[in-house]
Amino acid sequence: MTYSGIEKAEKQTSSWDTPGPWLGMVMGFGTPLCVFVLNAAGWIAGLAAFGVMGAIAFAVIRRFPSENAARIYGSAALARYNTRFLLAMMAYIAGLLAAMFLYNNDMPTGPHAYAVPLLPTLPLLAAIGVMGRYMVEETDEYLRHRTSLSALIGLGLVLVVGTVWGFLETFALVPNIWAWWVFPVWAIGLGIGQGLLARFDRAAEKANDEDAHP
């Protein structure tokens, strides 16, 4: 096989051969629909709608062979991470909506009140655990290196945003923000880092192609 044949063969697989994009579509379209059902028909119908969405998500995961995901995402650990993280995010959305519903309708009092904020909190703690587990399970040193760099970019973003916002808030120039924003800001930084590094990878692949077809 020539260089050009090699490169073409390497690009035949697509992320659409993995559950990730399909799960994203199920969640993207399903969550607003479930919220609509929750508001229109009550919490029992809403929970049932979330149950149906969860069942569809599991069916999607089972539909695709895991070796496809391992090949496309780069490693089996990364494929497992993607699935686990999506499941944690689904649990987070369900927990957040349930907590908001309880808060707006029949908020428990006393010690039981602490259970309500735990509904969205526990899935997010699980998501953080999923990230840690990925770093332990990943055997590919380059992918681990790439994730470490992305995590540092996320940390840098948290430090910058937290420092700037904190001082602006100290001098009463901006409103207070809740501390749970730390996680999404860090995750945004992680995503930016992963996106940039993936872009560098693709640029390198393109350079490979150009080397093959001068």
Partner 1 sequence: MKNQLKVLRAQRDWSQQDLADRLGVSRQSVNAIEKGRYDPSLPLAFTIAEVFELPIEAIFSRD
Q: Which helix (H) or strand (E) holds 103?
A: helix 76-105
Instruction: Give residue 28's identity as a one-letter amino acid code.
Output: G
Q: In terms of Cα–Cα distance, which of 102, 78, 97, 76 is closest to 27?
A: 97
Q: Whose Cβ is closer to partner 1: residue 153's or residue 185's? A: 153
Q: Does 209 interact with partner 1 (rule: CB under 8 A)?
A: no
Contacting partner 1 (CB under 8 A), which of 84, 140, 188, 192?
A: 140
Q: Does 65 interact with partner 1 (rule: CB under 8 A)?
A: no
Q: How far apart are CA 72 and CA 79, in angstroms?
A: 8
Q: Does 74 interact with partner 1 (rule: CB under 8 A)?
A: yes
Contacting partner 1 (CB under 8 A), which of 112, 141, 172, 176?
A: 141
How many chain residues are in contact with partner 1, going by CB under 8 A? 23
Instruction: Enumerate residues 6+ apart whose C-beta is below 8 A from 147.
Output: 134, 135, 138, 194
Residue the block writes with tokens 């009140």 = 113
Q: CA 140, 144, 147, 153: dihedral to nearest 10 degrees?
A: -150
Q: Pick the piece of the chain touching partner 1 (CB under 8 A) from 54-62, 127-135, 184-192, 200-208.
A: 200-208
Contacting partner 1 (CB under 8 A), which of 18, 57, 69, 75?
A: 75
Q: Whose Cβ is closer to partner 1: residue 163's or residue 208's? A: 208
Contacting partner 1 (CB under 8 A), which of 145, 148, 164, 196?
A: 145
Contacting partner 1 (CB under 8 A), which of 65, 169, 208, 209?
A: 208
Instruction: Enumerate residues 6+ apart whose C-beta is below 8 A from 72.
Output: 13, 14, 15, 17, 18, 79
Q: Does 4 interact with partner 1 (rule: CB under 8 A)?
A: no
Q: Does 143 interact with partner 1 (rule: CB under 8 A)?
A: yes
Q: Does 201 interact with partner 1 (rule: CB under 8 A)?
A: yes
Q: CA 94, 194, 201, 81: dihedral to nearest 10 degrees?
A: -40
Q: How far apart are CA 205 and CA 214, in angstroms?
A: 14
Q: Which of residues 10-49 bind partner 1 (CB under 8 A)?
A: 10
- Give the interface with partner 1 as residue ranges (CB under 8 A): 1, 3, 6-7, 9-10, 71, 74-75, 139-143, 145-146, 200-201, 204-205, 207-208, 211
